[in-house]
Amino acid sequence: MNCLHKALGKEWSITPAGGLTGDAYIAEHQHKRLFVKRNSSPFLAVLSAEGIVPKLVWTKRMENGDVLTAQEWLDGRELKPDEMRQERVADLLHKIHHSSELLHMLMRLGKKAVTPDERFVMIQKHINHHHVLSTDDEVRTAIHILQKLLPATRRQKQVVCHCDLNHNNLILTEQGDLYLVDWDNAMIADPAIDFGMLLNKYVPKKDWADWLKRYGVRQTNNVLKRMYFYLLLDCLNYMNWHFERGERQKMMERLDELTVLNDRVISTIV
């Protein structure tokens, strides 16, 4: 907190903004508010320039090596779950996935795309390491489906993906501007990772084709295969993550999700 007062001035009131890392703060002085974060990625500057996150006001490097960033504080709210199907969300995601500036910056920061083949081998390795998971019928079915879907995922255009499209991460300001925040999980990957996650969680299946059309993609069997590949992969990764932490209840919740995904893929695609 001392370094924050040193960067901002003692006249600023500083309070924690919450979050898992504890590195985010709200700074206030004379009716002016800033969102201050410690050691944000340099990626933030490009996101700000592209109008995807609130405007970056300044960046300061402290004597201890920490880097502080201050963003404009905008009054607004998180999107509601049923608002995730709106056209403006599809438009924002299209803008992100087609931004060469974002892609070039992530590449300059050393980010490299992990191929779907590499990710498939990785999840197999993790699952096989745990007898409880590797012998479960639904897990084995999911691995089999992934293997069958894998060819559809190859040679796809790689873009910047947010990888955590939760309604809590979309902020609608009182002026009507929409921002996507919390870019800690961003990667270079198939855009199906993002729109598959959003559609599966927030949009009724009967409306997928219309949403995808607005986004700029025609719903084809190949598109669905790519979506389900990453949804299954993501579910297995979370199952493994919860299992290794002894979180049995959460692991079982993921297993229920996996069962639903398996049934849906088997009945419609595989």
Q: Which residues are catalytic?
A: 164
Per DSSP, the chain holds a count of helices (H) and strands (E) of: 11, 10
Written as six digits, the tokens of 80 are 């509601």
Backbone angles phi, psi at 258, to 5 degrees: -65, -40
Whole-angstrom distance, CA of residue 96 vs CA of residue 94: 5
C-alpha span between 261 and 186 (Å, rounded) = 24
For residues 73 and 26, the answer to whether their CB atoms sit within 8 Å is: yes
> How many C-beta atoms surround the C-beta of residue 157 within 10 A?
8
Alpha-carbon distance of 237 to 123, in angstroms, equals 7
Is residue 184 classed as helix, strand or coil in its secondary structure?
Answer: coil
